[in-house]
Chain A
Amino acid sequence: MQTKQVLSTIRRNKATSLLVILQVALTLMIVSNAVFETMTSLALWNQPTGLAEKQLVAVRHQVFDPTVNVGAMIDKDIERLNRIEGVTATLLTSEIPLDSQRNNIHTVYLTNSADAKENYIERFDSSEALLGMIDATVVEGRNFNPSEITQGQFGQVSSNVSVVMVSEAFAKATFPDESAVGKTLWQSLGAEPVKIIGVYSDFLAGETLSNYHTIIRPLLIYRTDAELNYLLKLNVDWTKPLLDEITDVMYQTPGRYVSVVEALARPKKRMYDGRGSHSFTLLGISGLAMLITGLGISGLITFTVNQRKKQIGIRRALGGTKRQIVNFFIIEISLLTAMGAMLGVVLTFGLNYLMSDQSGTQSGLNWLPLILLIGAIWAVNIFASWLPAKRASLIEPAIVTRG
């Protein structure tokens, strides 16, 4: 009954109705696309690292003085660094977990044939101490024996290995139905095969999020012409000055440059910085858009109340209750919101298409958040029209008799 009246009112107030519909549709379009993009970029938010990143510190450095004996320097470094109070262990690694560099993606093959499939994997060369240091565990098979580790300068010792360990994620993806332990891999076609002796719990390798496919080789090999990495483990309660102390110790050896001394929490932060800040900017804009819409709707309803003072008075005089008046406005705004939402969904899809065209990545259209947002906008609109509607219900019936 009421609805029919509302519809005819909407028809008679085309301009204001259209404004509300437009307002709702545009807001839905903006906010839902912002939310879609946020969901896409945060889909991989806060993945488990599988590491004790709060206790780990990366030290990257490079020797530029050709007269330095790098092998002896490394031994001395490890000894000196371990002597610092708060440092519990120091290890030479080819790459730093969580911060492995972009060119650290390697291929391994399951067979030694020309048509073998390429499996991509991030590689870490270190000793048997690595897993314990980062708090990863051996889930199957065994860790390296100290006798299996090859130590020395690149080019002077062979970097061929016969045994490796792989991550659980890689093991499961590559050998879905059987144990990976005892299986053979080829690092390049025609090369000597290597045997998997153990599988360890997953840890995040680096920038390429969601990638837990890693391999560890028993190699402590250093180059004299490239960056060297140390991984340090600290006591739980370490504080910032400890990093400066580490830097100072590193610079006690002249002829080298220390590029990075940072806790692994930092590269972890970096992984999410871009997507995180973009998402929060979008959500900020969305929040403002909702606020503005609420204010606008509130203004429009106030306007219609003023316009219809007389009609409202008549209705009250004819026995309409205050409740009915309030309901009338609530139904009106609900109907308008529904119409706006329908238009908004169409616009949302349009903008989504446009945006994915621009950024090149498809941000996922998702019905659930869309429906939730329509609900949210509806709630905001009802909230915004509540006060003006309440005020309308207070119009005295006597207003009619005055005219």
Chain B
Amino acid sequence: MFKYNLKLAFKSLHYRTGLTALMVATIGIGIGMLMTMVTIGHQARKVPLPGLSDQLFLVRMDSRHADARDVTLPQRMVNLTYRDALNLFNAKTVASQQTFNFKVFPILDAQEESSRPIQAMVDATTASFFDMFGARFIYGKAWTKSENGAPVIVISKKTNDQLFGGRDSIGEQIVVGTGKATVVGVLDDWSTPRRIFDGSYSSSRFDDAFIPYQFALDINAQRSQRMSCHPQDAGKRLAFTTTDLQGLLSSECTWVNFWAKIDNPADAQQYRAFAEQYVVEQKGYGRFPRPILNFILNIDEQYAMARFGGGRQETLNLLAYLFFFVCLVNAVGMLLTKFLSTSKEVCLRRALGAKKKIIMGQYLLEVMMIGLMGGLLGVVMSFGGLTLMKHVRMYASDYTADMEVLNLAYQLDWSMVSASIGVAIASTIVVGLYPVWRIVNVSPASQLKGA
């Protein structure tokens, strides 16, 4: 019987081909639009560094001024002061490894005829950073723990391409701001569309190089102005980022990202207790004037709380859902038209003794096939939609965005492909229920007389 139904369903698809095509197109366009927007969100929320994301904890502590505003969202909490970062880094904790980093913006110059200097975004960090974040090297390796103040540098693949034309540059000397450093490693691309390690989750520009933190301080490379200071230092930010290094290091300004790797996430509680104890201790020195509030969250937890894409993307998401709904309402109308135009046939079959169930089966099968085709078309559409949105984004960034990063962020994956087809079939069945119910309940013989 199923085979017979299948045959009939296929035949019925051919009957009024135009209407079938229109229906498939409607569902396809709806699914395409929906999946384009959902995929953008899905890729944005995809947690990077699988396998490490539950072990890497970003440490933030409320060391702000007593009158500072209350903060409830962890992403709004300030980073650490240099002194706290150093204290935690040197403390014995349950974490297997710890690291910290801050951004500096020196100019890098290979001093070769063939390349021009670049203004680099550089992370000043510790030797443990590379292992903690699973960095992959094309050439060379990370510096060692004893070299946290040495004039060495690890550069990104892109920087190596720009400065050295992509060749093995290990051992080369390059100008780093007012100093010079030896290249010890060249990194491969990070396979994530977002920058994690600085807590920004930005998808715009990736770090060009990494240098030991003490070396960054020694050459007094220009630091990022993104820091939060106590009121008495608010006016000194410009000096702190350029000239007044000692002032910054001893100030209460927060500008250092701190990460702890806790191999067994269950030990996080122990680490949190340690951090709390640390704040209590510091309060004894008259620091940390506010109530204790530490946020020690792993990447998974941070991702669960973060809102990516912003208002504009959410608007598009909402519209895509509504648009899909319109397409479905549309499909109801078309299914009604299509099915009820075969009323006579159904009458005849019913009159000849076909059970309602069997007729229902046949029409549901047809609905499912339409859903399947709509879903497949939707996949093609969403591929096109994502490509389009990627180019829109490229245009919007004035062609400064990194195409490789965008490719990751606007990529269709198998979970989305199967979701498209699943949603298409399921929703077509739901909206098909009423038309199927109508056709099944056509009374036998009602239409036969005219035939």
Contacts and interface: CB of A to CB of B under 8 A. Distances in A.
A26 interface: yes
Nearest to B177: A64
Given A257-B118, A306-B337, A292 B330 contact: yes
A293 B319 contact: no
A276 B337 CA distance: 40
Contacts of B109: 64, 257
Nearest to A291: B29
Nearest to A299: B334
B33 interface: yes
B337 A30 contact: no
B236 interface: no
B315 A358 contact: yes
A360 interface: yes
B266 interface: no
A62 B107 contact: yes
A292 B106 CA distance: 54
Given A273-B397, A355-B318, A361 B311 contact: yes
A257 B289 CA distance: 44
A398 interface: no
B333 A300 contact: yes
Contacts of B318: 351, 354-355, 358
A205 B317 CA distance: 34
A336 B392 CA distance: 37
Interface string A354-370: 11001111000000000
A351 B314 CA distance: 13
Interface in B310-365: 310-312, 314-316, 318-320, 322-323, 325-327, 329-330, 332-334, 336-337, 340-341
A30 B322 contact: yes
Interface string B3-40: 00000000000000001001000100110010000000
Given A19-B332, A23-B329, A257-B118, A277 B392 contact: yes
A29 interface: yes
Contacts of A300: 333, 336-337
B19 A299 contact: yes
A340 to B, nearest CB: 11
B327 A292 contact: yes
Contact of A293 (B175, B330, B434): B330
Contact of A64 (B117, B337, B449): B117
A117 interface: no
B268 to A, nearest CB: 32
Contacts of A403: 449-450
A295 B26 CA distance: 9
Contacts of B341: 303, 306
B33 A285 contact: yes
Contacts of A358: 311, 314-315, 318
A259 interface: yes
Interface in B181-217: none
A66 interface: yes
A72 interface: no
Contacts of A37: 315
Interface string A57-96: 0000010101000000000000000000000000000000
Contact of B325 (A20, A26, A33): A26
Contacts of B319: 30, 33-34, 282, 285
Nearest to B26: A292
Among A225, A257, A354, the most chain B Cβ lie within 10 Å of the Cβ of: A257
A64 B107 contact: yes
A306 B340 CA distance: 9
Interface residues of B, number: 52
Contacts of A306: 337, 340-341
A56 B397 CA distance: 22
B19 A225 contact: no
A62 B329 contact: no
Nearest to A266: B398
A306 B107 CA distance: 75
A343 to B, nearest CB: 13
**Interface class of chain A by DSSP:** helix
Contact of B315 (A16, A23, A295, A359): A359
Given A27-B326, A66-B178, A303 B119 contact: no
A173 interface: no
A277 B395 CA distance: 8
B216 to A, nearest CB: 15
Interface string A292-333: 110111011011001100000000000000000000000000
A27 B30 CA distance: 13
Nearest to A280: B392
A266 to B, nearest CB: 7
A15 B336 contact: yes
A304 B177 CA distance: 77
A225 B397 CA distance: 28
Contacts of B327: 292
B167 interface: no
B334 A292 contact: no
Contacts of A273: 395-398
Contacts of B323: 30, 285, 288-289, 292
Interface string A244-279: 000000010000111100000010011001101110
B145 interface: no
Interface string A130-165: 000000000000000000000000000000000000
Contacts of A26: 322, 325-326, 329
B116 interface: yes
Interface string B254-265: 000000000000
Given A64-B117, A358-B314, 12 more contacts: A66-B178, A259-B119, A288-B33, A292-B30, A292-B326, A296-B26, A300-B336, A303-B337, A306-B337, A351-B322, A355-B318, A359-B315
14 contacts: A19-B329, A64-B177, A64-B178, A225-B242, A258-B116, A273-B398, A277-B393, A282-B316, A282-B319, A303-B340, A303-B341, A358-B314, A361-B311, A402-B450
Closest 4 interchain pairs by CB?
A359-B311, A296-B330, A303-B337, A300-B333
Interface of B: 19, 22, 26, 29-30, 33, 106-107, 109, 116-119, 175, 177-178, 242-243, 310-312, 314-316, 318-320, 322-323, 325-327, 329-330, 332-334, 336-337, 340-341, 389, 392-393, 395-398, 434, 438, 449-450
Interface of A: 15-16, 19-20, 22-23, 26-27, 29-30, 33-34, 37, 62, 64, 66, 225, 251, 256-259, 266, 269-270, 273-274, 276-278, 280-282, 285, 288-289, 292-293, 295-297, 299-300, 302-303, 306-307, 351, 354-355, 358-361, 402-403
